[in-house]
């Protein structure tokens, strides 16, 4: 189950939504890196929180996604989008039960 409160900002101390934004738009690390003038590995470091972006780079990334800076980067964990948009926490996903024969019931 996904627990947003367990996110780790990594070495940078910043949380970010870069990977989510890339995925929903179908953009590779390379495409984003080329657009903001960095190596594609830098994007991976940013996504994992291993590297904190310069202010200029943070603004470039936010501009690329056409979002305000605080929609991409934060010093606090992001709330799940369903909670932000609808004001409700997502329901826990029920665990699948398996039968004695190894199949799913």
Give domain limits for the chain: 9-79
Sign of the dihedral defined by the CA atoms of residues 85, 87, 91, 92, in that order:
positive
What is the predicted pLDDT for the residue at 28? 98
Q: Measured at the alpha carbon of residue 15, what is the angle toward residues 53 and 2, in degrees to the nearest 5? A: 145
**Mean pLDDT score of the chain:** 84
**33 vs 51: CA distance, rounded Å:** 14
* 52-87 per-position pLDDT tens digit: 999 999 999 999 999 999 999 999 998 887 777 787
What is the predicted pLDDT for the residue at 84? 75
What is the predicted pLDDT for the residue at 5? 35
What is the predicted pLDDT for the residue at 37? 98
43 three-class SS = helix
CATH level 3 topology of 9-79: 434 Repressor (Amino-terminal Domain) (1.10.260)
**Integer angstrom CA distances of residue 20 from 48, 95, 102:** 12, 25, 34
């Amino acid at each position: 189950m996904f627990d947003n409160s367990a996110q780790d900002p990594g070495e940078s101390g910043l949380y970010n939504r870069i990977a989510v934004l890339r995925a929903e738009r179908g953009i590779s690390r390379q495409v984003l890196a080329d657009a903001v003038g960095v190596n594609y590995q830098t994007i991976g470091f940013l996504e994992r929180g291993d590297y904190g972006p310069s202010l200029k780079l943070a603004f470039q990334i936010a501009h690329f996604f056409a979002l305000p800076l605080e929609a991409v980067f934060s010093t606090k964990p992001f709330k799940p989008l369903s909670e932000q948009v609808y004001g409700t926490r997502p329901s826990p996903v029920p665990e699948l039960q398996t039968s004695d024969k190894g199949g799913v019931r």
